[in-house]
């Protein structure tokens, strides 16, 4: 009897051939399955949609109260009968049901993220390596940041703009990073602003609870919005415009030949205001005088304005003699006389309002009309007053600043950073609405606003660009509307015409001289004006 040979052990080559055959078989099966799926995809979509429609019908029937199921069945039967009787009704009904099923059964899976390309991945890797010295801990057993580590674990979300630079980035950082310290935050923000691309403004949102930092590139604010009438109520002043994500309100504005809606930074003044006075700081040419002119044009709609210009440049000459403009003073003697009258007027309003309340009457109309005191560069007057042995004009602002809200008196002070030390303590204490314009070191911006802005500013900013903070609220990016001096030769014809249209008519000749004493007599004929006249005579 012949002996059957024993099976041989597979050699190395035969094992590789077997694995290759198995791989080819799997590939053929996968290809066949994909082909069948492509061919039967419409049928699969319609079947899935019919199942979803049937499930929705069962849920609707289960949610319908029992006393309403009879009318519902009658309605369904009526529709079915109508479809049967209408010509081509069944065909149209089938087509409608199939279309609805196809829509419900469509593939709603979001497209898979393809991820960054090679250049984008290189940028993210460079950012990760730059952040290692700030976020790495020597005693961390499983460090999230390490040289040569995986950047995709630290950057949970990222987007790039058309130029290939980072436009949005969500960064995870360790829990032991001191994110509550402003200095630690500032170091990271400066690094990201430099590495992600200079020449852009970045918004930094620190989530201390979730240990995440969101970096967003901000679009530039429109710097060519001209002065115009704003849709506001009495007591509201538009300081400028900001980002749409910061405020919910928008204003319709004329932007060239178009009408656009722009989010404003609105400052509320008056008796119910929590920040009745404003302080604006900036570098020379940053636009603080432009801000004061814009505020003056808006204030003249409902109140009176007193302007004291310490710069001596005549940038407010266009307001001289206009209706509602009590005075435009550029000399020390006139400034002292005007501010002395403003202090007395504030006291008079307080007394008149108190007497009216004691008698049960409403406040007199002249106390309800807003009075605005605009003081540009008071440090110049402080230096001149010290040289001549006179009183600092800022000392006369003590009464309007402390009691201005009750008397409906608003004070706006603008000064440059070079003369910031010349501001009195009363001005610093009572001006809680703050504006910083132009490029300035972060420590100066923080000293004025009381906190660091959440954005990284550019080195060169257009005039009127900066930050605004009203009281203890958030810090907003700000762009002041373009309100130049219409008498300046460098002003364009369009801007000049826009400002001239907002000016009230001239009621007093421009060469009539100081009108502070006359304003006192008009406001209250019984008020003595000897002090104002004496101060004017000294000049």
Bind-site residues for ATP:
282-289
514 in Cβ contact with 536 (< 8 Å): yes
**Residue 412: other Cβ atoms inside 10 A:** 26
CA distances from 448 to 217, 278, 340, 378, 437 (A): 25, 11, 27, 17, 11
Closest CA to 44 of 112, 116, 102: 102
Residues 6+ apart with CB under 8 A from 232: 238, 251, 266, 298
User: Six-digit token pair at 282?
Assistant: 């900036």
User: Six-digit token pair at 118?
Assistant: 């090679």
Residues 6+ apart with CB under 8 A from 74: none
Annotation: binding site: 282-289
Q: Give the integer Cα–Cα distance in Å for 192 and 210.
A: 20
Residues 6+ apart with CB under 8 A from 220: 201
318 in Cβ contact with 503 (< 8 Å): yes
- Taking the CA atoms of the chain, what radius of gyration do you get in angstroms? 36
The alpha carbon dihedral of 417, 422, 427, 428 has a sign of positive
């Amino acid at each position: 009897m012949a002996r059957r040979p024993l099976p041989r052990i597979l050699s190395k080559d035969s094992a590789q051939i077997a694995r290759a055959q198995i791989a080819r078989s799997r590939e053929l099966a996968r290809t066949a399955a994909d082909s069948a799926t492509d061919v039967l995809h419409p049928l699969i979509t319609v079947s899935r949609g019919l199942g979803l429609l049937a499930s929705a019908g069962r849920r609707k029937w289960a949610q319908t109260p029992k006393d309403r199921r009879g009318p519902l069945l009658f309605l369904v039967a009526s529709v079915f009968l109508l479809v049967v009787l209408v010509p081509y009704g069944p065909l149209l009904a089938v087509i409608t049901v199939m279309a609805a099923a196809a829509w419900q059964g469509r593939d709603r899976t979001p497209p898979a993220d393809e991820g960054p390309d090679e250049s984008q991945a290189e940028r993210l890797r460079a950012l990760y390596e730059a952040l290692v010295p700030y976020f790495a801990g020597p005693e961390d057993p499983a460090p999230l940041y390490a040289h040569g580590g995986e950047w995709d674990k630290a950057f949970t979300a990222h987007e790039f703009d058309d130029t290939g630079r980072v436009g949005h980035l969500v960064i995870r950082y360790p829990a032991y990073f001191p994110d509550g310290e402003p200095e630690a935050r500032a170091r990271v923000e400066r690094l990201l602003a430099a590495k992600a691309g200079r020449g852009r403004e970045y918004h930094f949102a620190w989530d201390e609870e979730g240990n995440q930092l969101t970096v967003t590139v901000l679009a530039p604010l429109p710097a060519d919005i001209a002065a115009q009438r704003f849709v506001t109520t009495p007591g509201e002043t538009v300081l400028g415009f900001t980002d749409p994500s910061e405020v919910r309100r928008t204003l319709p504005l004329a932007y060239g030949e178009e009408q656009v809606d722009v989010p404003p930074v609105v400052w509320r003044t008056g008796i119910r205001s929590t920040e009745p006075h404003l302080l604006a700081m900036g570098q020379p040419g940053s636009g603080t005088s432009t801000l004061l002119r814009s505020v003056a044009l808006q204030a003249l709609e409902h109140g009176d304005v007193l302007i004291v210009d310490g710069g001596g440049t005549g940038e407010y000459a266009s307001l001289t003699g206009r209706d509602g403009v009590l005075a435009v003073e550029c000399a020390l003697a006139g400034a002292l006389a005007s501010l002395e009258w403003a202090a007395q007027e504030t006291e008079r309003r307080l007394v008149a309002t108190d007497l009216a309340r004691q008698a049960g009457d409403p406040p007199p109309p002249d106390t309800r009309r807003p009075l605005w005191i605009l003081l540009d560069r008071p440090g110049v007057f402080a230096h001149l007053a010290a040289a001549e042995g006179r009183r600092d004009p800022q000392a006369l602002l003590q009464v309007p600043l402390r009691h201005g809200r009750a008397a409906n008196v608003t004070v706006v002070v603008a000064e440059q950073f070079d003369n910031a030390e010349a501001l009195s303590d009363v001005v610093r204490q009572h001006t809680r609405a703050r504006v910083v314009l132009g490029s300035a070191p972060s420590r100066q911006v923080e000293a004025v606003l009381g906190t660091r802005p959440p954005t990284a500013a550019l080195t060169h900013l257009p005039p009127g660009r900066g930050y605004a903070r009203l009281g203890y609220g958030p810090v907003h990016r700000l762009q002041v509307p373009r309100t130049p001096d219409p008498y300046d030769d460098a002003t364009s014809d369009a801007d000049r015409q826009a400002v001239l249209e907002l000016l009230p008519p001239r009621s007093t000749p421009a060469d009539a001289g100081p009108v502070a004493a006359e304003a006192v007599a008009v406001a209250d004929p019984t008020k003595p004006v000897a002090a104002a006249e004496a101060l004017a005579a000294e000049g």
